[in-house]
Every structure is written in C-alpha cells, then in structure tokens.
C-alpha cells in the first residue's frame, strides 16, 4: 500500500514541473533520457529512486498510476509519455520539441 504522503509528493512533482522523470542512477536508459533533455536545454525534475528511502514506494505508485513498472518514467506537462524508447520515438518523429514547447 502506497502512503498518502508518497501519492501527494509524486502528484505535486508531476504538476509543478514541465518535465518529471523517475530515474535510477545506474540505469543506462535513464542516462539516455537525461542526455536527450540536456541536448535540448531542458532541465527535468528528476527523482533518483535508488537514492531515496521511499524510492520503491514511489515506483509502486507510478506503476499504479501509469501501468509502467520500469524507469525512466517520464511525464511532460503532466502527461505520461512512457520510457526512454517512447521519448526517442517522439524525438525521431520531430514531436518532442513541440510537446516541450521549444
């Protein structure tokens, strides 16, 4: 069971930031996602789940919210985008910059 505090923390982070990424420091797909945003000059709000005491609980809540159990778990303007492959597909279709309003 996910605590109300974690639900509130995640919902607030998604709403308050144009780009939210749930990540893990050792994940190569997360690193690729963050590099993509860096190339575009975008500074996402990042939660490194493996460095947080409540990291597994946050990941559980994101799974409940999105159906996605893996990282990176990406939201742009409050909309769930998916993972790194979804992000790269948006980029290759020239839809990412439009979504980011760049």
Question: Which helix (H) or strand (E) element contains residue 82?
Answer: strand 79-82
Q: In what order do the strands lie in the sheet with 73-76?
A: 45-48, 19-23, 73-76, 79-82
pLDDT of residue 77: 97
Percent of residues, the chain, with pLDDT higher than 90 = 97
The mean pLDDT of 8-17, rounded to a whole number, is 98
Q: Is 4-100 assigned to CATH 3.40.30.10?
A: yes
Q: How many CA atoms lie within 13 A of 13 on its CB side?
A: 19
The model's pTM is 0.96
pLDDT bin (cut points 50, 70, 90) of residue 70 is very high
Q: Decide if pLDDT at 102 tops 90.
A: no
Q: Decide if pLDDT at 1 tops 90.
A: no
Q: Decide if pLDDT at 96 tops 90.
A: yes
């Amino acid at each position: 069971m996910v605590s109300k505090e974690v639900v509130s923390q995640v919902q607030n982070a998604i709403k308050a930031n144009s780009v939210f990424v749930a990540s893990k420091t050792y994940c190569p797909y997360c690193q690729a996602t963050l590099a993509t945003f860096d190339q575009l000059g975008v500074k996402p709000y990042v939660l490194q789940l493996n460095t947080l005491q409540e990291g597994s609980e946050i990941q559980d809540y994101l799974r409940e919210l999105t159906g996605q159990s893996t990282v990176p778990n990406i939201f742009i303007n409050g909309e769930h985008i998916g993972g790194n492959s979804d992000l790269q597909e948006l980029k290759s279709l020239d839809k990412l910059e439009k979504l980011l309003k760049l």
